[in-house]
C-alpha cells in the first residue's frame, strides 16, 4: 500500500551523523515503491529559536545539499521550503479556529522549549504545533516519520484532523506516526543532537577527527578497567557498541564484536577503531557527493523551486476545499 510520507527538519544547522543515520536514511528508503514523499525545510518553525536571517538562509541551503548528498532524489521526492507555500500559513489560521487553547499550554514540547528559552516564549512558540499540523494536513499526509520529541505535536495534528472532520465533514486522513525510527546515541551516551557539539559527530568531519573524538570521549564499559577484564557491551557500553549495532555490515559481524568484548578478546580502543572503520564505510560516499554539491547553489534553488511548485499545487487544492467547507470565499 502506498503512503503519502511527510517530514521536515528545522533549519538550525548542518546535518549530523544522528540525523543522517536515524532519520534521513529512512526518508531515502521511503522513496522506493509507489509512495508520494514530501520533505521540507521548516524555516518558519526555525524562527521560534533563531533570529539571525543570514544564519537562517545559510543553514537552509546547506541542509538541502546535505539532503541531496544523503540520497534524496528530486525525481522521486518533493523537496521544498515551508515558507514557499503561503497556503500552509493560511491553513494554520483555519486550524487554529478549532484548536482549544488549553491543550496547547499542556504540550510537553512547548513546556520544554519555554523552560529552555524563557525569553522567547512567543505566540509562534505556543502555536508551533498548529503550524506543524498544517504542514502535515495540507498535503494530506498518511505517514509521518517523527522523532520521539515530536510525538505530542503529531498527536495534536491527528486530533485536529478529527475535530475538523467532525465539524465540517470528512476531509483529512488521520496520519499515522512512525516514531520507532533509529535512535543514534552521541559520545556521551545520550541521543545525538545539534544543540550539543560535544555530544554529536559532524558528518562532514574527517575520519581522523571522528576517530580522535571517539578515542577521547566515547564512553565504553566503565567497569572494564583492564583489557583482560570481560566487558558487557549490551548493558554498560553507553556510546560505542550501540552505534556498532547501526553501522556494522551485518548481525553476525556485530555479534562477533560483542562476543569478543565479553571474552576480553578485544579492548575498548580496538573496538573504537573498528567502529570508526564502519562509520567511514557509511559516510565517505556521502562526503564525496556533498563535495560535488558544494558550489551548486543554482541547482539547489532549481530543485526547491520545482519541488515548491509541486507541493503548493497539492496543498493549495486542500486549502481550497477547506475554504469551501468553512464558508470562506475569495472575492
3-class secondary-structure state, position 92 = helix
Average pLDDT over residues 319-329: 97
pLDDT digits (tens, 9 = 90+) for 159-216: 999 999 999 999 999 999 886 567 788 888 888 876 666 788 888 899 999 999 999 9
Task: For residue 133, give the C-alpha cell.
Answer: 499540523
pLDDT digits (tens, 9 = 90+) for 91-138: 999 999 999 999 999 988 888 878 887 887 889 889 999 999 999 999
Task: For residue 139, give the C-alpha cell.
Answer: 498535503
Q: Quick check: 26 pLDDT over 60?
A: yes
Domain locations in the chain as residue ranges = 4-184+296-326, 207-291
Q: Please provide the average confidence, as pLDDT, over all residues in the chain.
A: 91
Query: Cα 45 from chain centroid?
Result: 13
Q: Which fold has domain 4-184+296-326?
A: Rossmann fold (3.40.50)
The beta strand positions in 83-222, using DSSP E, are: 143-145, 176-178
Contact 6, 38 (CB under 8 A): yes
More confident residue, 22 or 311: 311
Q: Quick check: 274 pLDDT over 90?
A: yes
pLDDT of residue 50: 87
Q: Give the C-alpha separation, 94 to 130, whole Å.
A: 10
- The CATH code for residues 207-291 is 1.10.240.10
Looking at the chain, the whole-number percentage of residues with pLDDT higher than 70 is: 98
pLDDT of residue 249: 82
Buried b (16+ CB within 10 A) or exposed e, 164-176: beeebeeebbebe
pLDDT of residue 199: 84
Amino acid at each position: 500500500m502506498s503512503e503519502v510520507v511527510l517530514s521536515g527538519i528545522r533549519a538550525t544547522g548542518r546535518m549530523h551523523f544522528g540525523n543522517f543515520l536515524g532519520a534521513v536514511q529512512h526518508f531515502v528508503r521511503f522513496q522506493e515503491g509507489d509512495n508520494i514523499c514530501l520533505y521540507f525545510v521548516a524555516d518558519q518553525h526555525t524562527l521560534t529559536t533563531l533570529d539571525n536571517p543570514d544564519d537562517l538562509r545559510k543553514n537552509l541551503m546547506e541542509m538541502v545539499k546535505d539532503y541531496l548528498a544523503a540520497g534524496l532524489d528530486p525525481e522521486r521526492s518533493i523537496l521544498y521550503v515551508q515558507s514557499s507555500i503561503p497556503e500552509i500559513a493560511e491553513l494554520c489560521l483555519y486550524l487554529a479556529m478549532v484548536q482549544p487553547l488549553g491543550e496547547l499550554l499542556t504540550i510537553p514540547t512547548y513546556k520544554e522549549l519555554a523552560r529552555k528559552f524563557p525569553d522567547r516564549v512567543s505566540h509562534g512558540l505556543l502555536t508551533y504545533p498548529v503550524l506543524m499540523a498544517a504542514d502535515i494536513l495540507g498535503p494530506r499526509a498518511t505517514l509521518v516519520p517523527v522523532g520521539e520529541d515530536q510525538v505530542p505535536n503529531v498527536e495534536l495534528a491527528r486530533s485536529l484532523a478529527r475535530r475538523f472532520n467532525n465539524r465540517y465533514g470528512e476531509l483529512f486522513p488521520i496520519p499515522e506516526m512512525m516514531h520507532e525510527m533509529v535512535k543514534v546515541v552521541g559520545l556521551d551516551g545520550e541521543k545525538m543532537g545539534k544543540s550539543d557539539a560535544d555530544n554529536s559527530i559532524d558528518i562532514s568531519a574527517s575520519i581522523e577527527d571522528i576517530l580522535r573524538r571517539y578515542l577521547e570521549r566515547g564512553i565504553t564499559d566503565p567497569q572494564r578497567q583492564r583489557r583482560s577484564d570481560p566487558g558487557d557491551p549490551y548493558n554498560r557500553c553507553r556510546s560505542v557498541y550501540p552505534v556498532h549495532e547501526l553501522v556494522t555490515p551485518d548481525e553476525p559481524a556485530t555479534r562477533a564484536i560483542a562476543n569478543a568484548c565479553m571474552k576480553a578478546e578485544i579492548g575498548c580502543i580496538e573496538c573504537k577503531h573498528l567502529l570508526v572503520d564502519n562509520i567511514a564505510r557509511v559516510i565517505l560516499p556521502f562526503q564525496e557527493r556533498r563535495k560535488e554539491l558544494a558550489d551548486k547553489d543554482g541547482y539547489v534553488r532549481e530543485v526547491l523551486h520545482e519541488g515548491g511548485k509541486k507541493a503548493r499545487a497539492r496543498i493549495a487544492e486542500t486549502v481550497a476545499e477547506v475554504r469551501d467547507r468553512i464558508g470562506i470565499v475569495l472575492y
